[in-house]
């Protein structure tokens, strides 16, 4: 099982969504950005590190949501979704080919990674 933290990053009423680049598995699918936890790393500290590495932005942790476990054909991931607030910086493209800030209700129109769908549902129900 792979432990991954992912951020639901809010900024001025909008939420960041990132589309996987063509050189990545599941290219073209949308996700809440984040990454793998290093050994002995908390989900929160991993998220802050990964978001800075991948997007070059600073975030502040707001609230952790319940874990989601999803089995893809070749791996099982345990996602730690975390609602965060954008603090500074403008997103850059490294692992993604498109980044958008959308109103929460617009998020449902994107073609999401399967593991992110229950997170999206949890987030929208909790608003």
**What Å distances lie between residue 49 and 2, 7, 46, CA to CA?**
17, 11, 5
pLDDT, residue 25, reads 77
Residue 6: enclosing H or E segment and its boundaries? strand 2-11
CA 108 distance to own-chain centroid: 15
Half-sphere exposure of 126 (CA within 13 A, CB side): 13
| Fold entry, domain 2-125 | Nucleoside Triphosphate Pyrophosphohydrolase (3.90.79)
Residue 29 has a CB neighbour count (10 Å cut-off) of 17
* 3-state SS, residue 55: helix
Residue 94 carries which DSSP code?
S
* 3-state SS, residue 75: strand
Q: What pTM was computed for the model?
A: 0.94
Query: Angle CA(39)–CA(122)–CA(110) in degrees, nearest 5?
Result: 95
pLDDT in tens, the chain (127 residues): 999 999 999 999 999 999 998 888 788 999 999 999 999 999 999 999 999 999 999 999 999 999 999 998 889 999 999 999 999 999 988 888 999 999 999 999 999 999 999 999 999 998 7
């Amino acid at each position: 099982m792979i432990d991954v933290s992912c951020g639901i990053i809010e900024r001025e009423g909008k939420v960041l969504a990132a589309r996987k680049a063509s050189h990545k598995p599941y290219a073209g699918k949308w996700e809440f950005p984040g990454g793998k936890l290093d050994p002995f790393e908390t989900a929160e500290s991993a998220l802050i590190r990964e978001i800075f590495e991948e997007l070059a932005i600073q975030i502040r942790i707001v609230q952790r949501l319940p874990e989601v476990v999803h089995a893809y054909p070749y791996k099982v991931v345990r996602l730690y979704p975390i609602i965060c607030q954008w603090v500074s910086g403008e997103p850059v493209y490294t692992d993604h080919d498109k980044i958008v800030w959308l109103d929460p209700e617009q998020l449902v129109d994107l073609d999401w990674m399967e593991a992110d769908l229950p997170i999206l549902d949890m987030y929208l129900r909790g608003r």
